[in-house]
């Protein structure tokens, strides 16, 4: 075991991250209760992605682990994004 390589995230950090996530959730609920037209869904999705990123980086330790995990994750998201783009091109311009 390479003890020195293990990054210990403090409990305080975790609590701060949790607080951020709950605030972001409250913002999503508030933002979708006001009329913003097509921007409502966009705002909800952007905030959801921000929350997901926070969970991945801090709770799932991606920020502190070796780069290989971030690279693998990036590739999977890129594949998924490509599938979304191709599907919607099909539906929009069929």
Q: Which residues bind other proteins (CB under 8 A)?
A: 1, 6, 8-11, 14-15, 17-18, 21-22, 25-26, 28-29, 32-33, 35-36, 40-41, 44-45, 47-48, 51-52, 55-56, 58-60, 66, 68-69, 72-73, 76, 79-80, 83-84, 87-88, 91
How far is residue 11's CA from residue 15's CA, in Å, rounded to a whole number?
A: 6
How far is residue 78's CA from residue 83's CA, in Å, rounded to a whole number?
A: 9
Are the CB atoms for 48 and 21 separated by under 8 Å? Answer: no
Of 10 and 93, the one with the shorter C-beta distance to other proteins is 10
CA dihedral 61, 66, 72, 74 (to 10 degrees): 70
Nearest to 32 by CA among 49, 47, 50: 47
Of 84 and 93, the one with the shorter C-beta distance to other proteins is 84
């Amino acid at each position: 075991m390479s003890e020195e390589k293990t990054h210990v995230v403090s409990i305080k950090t975790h609590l701060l991250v949790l607080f951020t996530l709950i605030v972001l959730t409250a913002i999503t609920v508030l933002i979708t209760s006001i009329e913003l037209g097509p921007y409502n869904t966009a705002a909800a999705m952007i905030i959801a992605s921000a929350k997901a990123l926070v969970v991945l980086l801090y709770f799932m330790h991606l920020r502190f682990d070796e780069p290989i995990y971030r690279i693998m994750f990036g590739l999977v998201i890129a594949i998924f994004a490509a599938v979304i783009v191709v599907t919607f091109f099909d539906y929009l311009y069929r």
